[in-house]
Structures are given as C-alpha cells and as structure tokens.
Amino acid sequence: MEILMLINGIKIEFLKLKRTGIYWFIYIIPAIFTIVNGILYAGSSKQGYEILRAVTFQIFLTFLYPLLIGVITALLIRMERKDYGLNNQLILPISRTRVYLNKLVLLVFLNLMIVITIYLVLAIYTLVFQAKGYSLLEEIPHFVCIWLSGCLISSIQLLLSFQFSGVLVPIAFCTILTMTGMFASAQKTLSMIDFWTYPVLSAFNGYNLFLIGTVSFILTCLFTILGMYLFKNKWINQIGKQ
C-alpha cells in the first residue's frame, strides 16, 4: 500500500513536470553538450573508449550537470510555491513527509534520465568512432556513481530550496560550489571532500568508485531524512504564509 501511494505520488509529480518547459531541458541540454564535446575526440591524439568517455563527459559533468540539478530543483520548488501546489498537497490524506519524499524521488528519477541521455550519446560515438576497450561490467560502476553523486547534490539542493523561499540563494549556492569544484577536481585529496566533484570523478578511472558511490548514497539518505524532519516540523508551518 505504501509503495503504491509513493508510485502514484511520483506519477503526479512527473505529470506536473511535463506541463512545464523544464521537462525538455532535462534531455536537450545534456544531449547537446555531450554531442558537441564528443566531436573533439576526432582530433584527439589518444584513442580508446576511456578517452572518448572522458572527452564526451568532462565539461558537462564538471560544470553543467551540477548547475542543471541546482536550477531544476530550485525552479520546481519555486513553481510549487507560486501555484500553491504544496498547499494543495497538504490537504490530501497523505503523510507530510511523503510530500517531501515525492520531490526527492522525482529528482532521483530525473538524474537517472540525465545520465541515461549522456550515455546514449556516448554509445553512439563509441559505434561511430569504433572506440576500443568498452566493457559493460567495468562501465556499470561509473554509470551508478555518476547517478548517485547527482542524487546527493539534488538532496542538498532540495533542502536549500525549501529553506529559502526564492531561487536566488539555492542557485547561487550551487553555482559557487560548482565553480570551486572545478578547481578541487584537480586535487585528488581535496576532490574527495567536495561533493560537487563527484559526478566528474565518477567518469574517470583512478578514483575509488566504491567510496564515491557509498558516500553519495549514505549522505543522500541522511540529507533526505533531515529534509523530511524539517519539512514536517518547521517548513510546513511556513508554506501557508507564503
């Protein structure tokens, strides 16, 4: 019963998202930037699947992916406030924590769609350039870690988007950490404590993917639990006043 209610809640969230222009940006932006970057592989002096993956993903995962997550999360919650969507949901006979959880699960799904999109581009380029060295078993950990690290950023941005009524602070926060993450990713030790570097680190060999994935999963759960607690005991009293 609980699972069915959660699924129905996600369906409603997804239908609301499809009515907005945000939905298409989830696919268009990742596709465009990975397509453009992947072309650079043709002029690369080094060849192979790992090089192709790095060239195709690096700029998007370093800069655009974290920003895209932050902007989408902030706009989703802002639209809910503006259209009184949260107020309407609180009238329904569902737990208050599920309202928050539905938002997080939607973001988890959107992250999955983004990662699938960029991997489809990579798969096409792998065939076009006939890149050697592809291994499905070796690629699965990269895929999962990119996804989980995106979910971690989403869980943090969701907290901020509920804490602040506007979009400026959450987006500014995400922008600052994305910019600092660009420098932190160049330092192997520093990059492991900067969560905004996790997506791009997950695309490269030489990093502890198990550690990145485990930390991302655990922290996503912790930030989600914290968010549900704050939503139920603090933020819910502020929604009707906005």
Amino acid making up residue 57: F
Q: DSSP code of 125?
A: H
| Range picked from 3-7, 22-26, 150-154 for highest mean pLDDT | 150-154
Given CA atoms 17, 87, 220, 190 in this order, what sign does their dihedral have? positive
- Per-residue pLDDT of 18-53, as tens digits, reads 776 777 888 999 999 999 999 999 877 788 999 999
What confidence score (pLDDT) does residue 242 get?
46
Judged by average pLDDT, the poorest of 103-112, 123-132, 157-166, 231-240 is 231-240
Asked whether the beta carbons of 12 and 111 are under 8 A apart, the reply is: no
- Per-residue pLDDT of 160-170, as tens digits, reads 988 887 789 99
Q: DSSP code of 208?
A: -
What is the pLDDT confidence band of residue 190, given thresholds at 50, 70 and 90? confident
In whole angstroms, give the CA distance from residue 55 to residue 106. 29
Percent of all residues in the chain with a pLDDT value above 70, rounded to a whole number:
85
